[in-house]
Amino acid sequence: MIEVNLDLAVQHGLTLEEYEKIKILIGRNPNFTELGIFSAMWNEHCSYKSSRVWLSTLPTKSKRVIQGPGENAGVIDIDDNDVAIFKIESHNHPSFIEPYQGAATGVGGILRDVFTMGARPIANLNAIRFGSPDHPKTKHLLNGVVAGIAGYGNCIGVPTVGGEVEFDSCYDGNILVNAMNIGLAKKDKVFYSIASGVGNPVIYVGSKTGRDGIHGASMASQEFDLDSESKKPTVQVGDPFAEKLLLEACLELMQTDTIVSIQDMGAAGLTSSSVEMASKGNIGIELNLNKVPCRETGMTPYEMMLSESQERMLIVLKTGKEKEAEKIFKKWDLDFSVIGILTDSKNLTLKYDNKTVCDIPISALADEAPKYEREWVEIKKPEYSDLEKKLDNINLEQTIKNLLSHPNQADKSWVWEQYDHMVMCDTVEFPGGDAAVIRIHGNNKKAIAASVDCTPRYCNSHPYTGGMQAVCETFRNLCAVGAEPIAITNCLNFGNPEKPEIMGQFVGVIKGMTEACKILNYPVISGNVSLYNETNGVGINPTPTIGGVGLIKDISKVKSLRFKNKDNNIYVIGKTLGHLEQSVLCYDLLHLKKGPPPSIDLNDELKNGEAIRSLINKNLIESCHDISSGGLILCLLEMSMASQIGFKLNTNKKSLDRIKFLFGEDQSRYIVEVNDQNKNSFEKILADLNVFFKNIGKTSDKINIDDDLKFNLQELSKLNKEWFYKYNN
């Protein structure tokens, strides 16, 4: 018998105050298994103890929201009795320790969050961030993570359709791997995790339980140190083929009238799944751990409850439906075991070898979990820096070439070509554009659009503006393809929340996100918080990754960023003021990292986005691309390289003003291509809507800026594409 004391509690990530609270809640000292269960449920990853106070301030409702935060994933109405179910989650710490399995199981976990609610997954997206390319670990981590995402997604047969890749030295010791999934279901066939019905059986299905992943959730709630490599046993091992069987078996079961509730075994495994189901239903649950299918001999109750072995589900069935359900899972060659029963005790009760090894009030594990109002300091917007002298001698031609060859702006084909983005044959717009577009299978008109975005350098400079901008960026990306932005999911990646300045970053980002979501009618319906992304006390830039989802009602009107024809008009929509602080030009190319991010007018953001969608619906534009990182020049070059059609640009600027015009990152802007036939109608609509626009040039066979800067398009395309291939060969 292992003696439970304060030292052991601290080793489990609990504080003195938390340990004392546990003893008060249960009226005694916990045993070893109970201590492990408390440590799992009360860690940051599962309890959101540092973030719950502020997460509750986010807008979560709209006329299309069916299920907001609190379930495995969020649910939105997309008409015709169809719903989209989606969520984004982090697998940061595991991916740093073991990049292939960490990333692979991140994909597997988010897939289960979606199909446990009755949806067939239709699209994966990801946002992955690494340290400096020169860091000795970066290449290994990049290759492992990309291979892990590809290995799991490709094998299970779900297309990976979009994402982002970024390098910054702030991620040297803490890479970020954020995985998103979208699924489709019928409105009347959505399943939830709320357990109900005393006497109903509790069923374990899927793969067997092993010792992999024990303390995985706790590890994800801690800072790294020089000993992080020793944490490899806490990284789960994935089997995409087993997950495919589990997916199909669960979806088949969902066509029967057998399920009361269902929950995947993710972070903290059997502990979190059983506690969350019982807590939501205000009911007790009793499990016989001798019935848990194990792949290793001699596993203890502690190990079984904390294992994070993958590809497992916990299901509450209607009494008497066990045989019907078992038949389905046996057909798919999966384990099926009745391991427990719902009770009226409102306790988590565990039996093993005819002994009670755990008896804890569910409320103590869930409702009474710590909730901290952490001290925080407001991060004020920096003063403008003195840039002008530092920009005097810029060679524009070379700077544009440097922009295209920088790893953060380089073509990401090397990454997404490893992902199967066409499986299921419903991908309409594939990686590399503003937003992915996925046809709703069996529907000739309707589609889903999705995008993931964040600009961490903005968030680090001024969290409030950065949080706002991250939301707006996905909004623009959806509008640019013609989608109605409906809702977002978020993955909030930060450092140690016990530091007031880090907590201040978190609060600032939340406030910015809240403001943007309200004005844009773009609610948060699911998400994840990943804290303690620090190594040896040095944290990452605040990185609130936003996953946006929109509805396209007529797929024939979808627009891409590719220019369509030569001699068409090029317009910029939205005002260009030339904001350079925190731009790619200053931050990545010139290493000038002071100053504020560009300001955002949310009313302009909404107005301009609605105008773009109106123009697309009226077939008045040929192509569209939002202006973001890299400014107007990178936006044009991306449109040009994607289509191999050039442009003639008239800046009407000289010297510094031209640099501001080309590289400034003012928000709420788009580039659109308009043919001569539609020019007058296009301009009239924007004038009527009081939306700023300006004709800045024409599409052409060459790239020509003000007649004094000329580029070979094929040369630039090669320069843009070759960085990743050279880096990894």
Active-site amino acid positions: 45, 91
Q: What is the DSSP string of 278-343?
A: HHHHT-EEEEEGGGS-BSSTT--HHHHHH---SSEEEEEEPTT-HHHHHHHHHHTT-EEEEEEEEE
Return the number of other C-beta atoms located less than 10 Å from residue 134's C-beta. Answer: 10
Using an 8 Å Cβ cutoff, are 143 and 120 in contact?
A: no
Residue found under tokens 């973030």:
51
How far CA 196 is from CA of 190, 285, 342, 348, in Å, comes to: 16, 10, 8, 14
Range list of H helices, 169-259: 216-219, 240-253
Tokens of 662: 């080309």
- The whole-angstrom separation of Cα 104 and Cα 91 is 9
Q: Are 504 and 378 in contact (CB under 8 A)?
A: yes
Residue appearing with tokens 């350098």: 457
| Residues 6+ positions from 157 with CB-CB distance below 8 Å | 244, 420, 423, 424
CA distance 538 to 530: 15
> Are 223 and 318 contacting, i.e. CB atoms less than 8 angstroms apart?
no
How far is residue 501's CA from residue 86's CA, in Å, rounded to a whole number? Answer: 31
677, containing H or E segment: none
* Distance between CA atoms of residues 671 and 431, nearest Å: 19
Half-sphere exposure of 489 (CA within 13 A, CB side): 36
Name the one residue in this structure whose structure tokens are 């299970």.
156
Contact 348, 367 (CB under 8 A): no
Our separate counts of H helices and E strands in the chain read 25, 28
Amino acid identity for residue 503 in this structure: M
Q: How far apart, in Å, do the first and last CA atoms of the chain sit? A: 54
On whether the CB atoms of residues 106 and 93 are closer than 8 A, the answer is: no
User: What CA–CA distance (Å, rounded) separates 124 from 113?
Assistant: 12
Dihedral-angle region of residue 591 (phi above 0 means left; psi in -120 to 50 means alpha; beta otherwise): left
- For the chain, what's the residue count? 729
